[in-house]
């Protein structure tokens, strides 16, 4: 009978992997060097996560902003604005501001290596769009309109986040994000 997985140990390993990937990138992630860097073994990473792909998926899922928590309670445009502002803050100055770099790398890798990264990137994008689109549906939009506006909001904020990481222009990107959020909220009326 296999030993049960130690959830605390798995969470600690996940945290270390996130930290490592933020500083070393996703593209060349190999389990052996990763394990050595975080003070464990490849065997332990495989024990806790099953495979390189599963490790990457779990690390990305655990480190992205929780769009469900932000948008599931939205029932009016004021709530939508508040949730969108919280998403931007999480992406740029909150706990997720570091892990968002991994997401941006993943999306770039998916564009050039869709066989290896395409499905995990698509799942990651959907994890953001789905809850936001559901909020728009609750506000009276058709499912198609809701997904369109949610895509505009998510992709626009993600692009502005990448711009901010590259240029370090906080004032301009905050102003642009504010405008995008205002326009996205106005679309809900």
Candidate CATH numbers 3.40.50, 2.60.40, 1.10.287, 1.10.10; the one for domain 7-61? 1.10.10
The structure tokens listed for 124 are 């990651």
The structure tokens listed for 66 are 């929780």
Question: Cα separation of 32 and 150, whole Å?
Answer: 39
Rounded to the nearest integer, the mean pLDDT of the chain is 88
The number of beta carbons lying within 10 Å of the beta carbon of residue 12 is 14
pLDDT for 104 equals 85
Question: Cα separation of 176 and 137, whole Å?
Answer: 25
Is the pLDDT assigned to residue 76 strictly greater than 90? yes
Mean pLDDT of 51-68: 80
Query: For residue 118, what are the contacts with CB-CB under 8 A and spacing of at least 6?
Result: 110
The structure tokens listed for 10 are 């798995």
pLDDT band at 1 (very low <50, low <70, confident <90, very high): low
Mean pLDDT of 161-174: 95
pLDDT band at 147 (very low <50, low <70, confident <90, very high): very high
Question: Cα separation of 162 and 3, whole Å?
Answer: 42
Domain with CATH 1.10.10 in the chain: 7-61
pLDDT band at 2 (very low <50, low <70, confident <90, very high): low
pLDDT for 19 equals 81
Mean pLDDT of 20-26: 79
pLDDT for 52 equals 82
Is the pLDDT assigned to residue 43 strictly greater than 70? yes
Is the pLDDT assigned to residue 168 strictly greater than 90? yes
Mean pLDDT of 145-166: 94
- pTM score, whole prediction: 0.81
Cβ-contact 144, 137 below 8 angstroms? no
pLDDT for 61 equals 75
Mean pLDDT of 76-89: 94
pLDDT band at 96 (very low <50, low <70, confident <90, very high): low
């Amino acid at each position: 009978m296999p030993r049960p997985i130690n959830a605390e140990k798995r969470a600690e390993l996940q945290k270390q992997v996130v930290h490592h990937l933020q500083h070393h990138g996703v593209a060349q992630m190999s389990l052996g060097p990763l394990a050595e860097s975080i003070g464990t073994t490849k065997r332990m990473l495989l024990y806790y996560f099953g495979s390189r792909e599963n490790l990457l998926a779990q690390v990305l899922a655990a480190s992205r902003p929780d769009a469900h928590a932000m948008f599931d309670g939205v029932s009016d445009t004021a709530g939508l604005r508040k949730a969108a502002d919280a998403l931007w803050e999480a992406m740029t100055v909150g706990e997720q501001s570091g892990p968002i770099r991994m997401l941006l790398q993943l999306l770039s890798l998916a564009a050039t290596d869709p066989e290896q990264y395409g499905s995990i990137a698509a799942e990651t994008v959907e994890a953001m769009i789905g809850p936001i689109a559901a909020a728009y549906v609750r506000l009276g939009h058709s499912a198609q309109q809701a997904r369109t506006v949610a895509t505009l909001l998510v992709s626009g904020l993600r692009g502005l986040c990448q711009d901010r990481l590259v240029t370090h222009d906080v004032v301009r990107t905050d102003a642009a994000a504010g405008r995008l959020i205002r326009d996205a909220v106005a679309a809900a009326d």
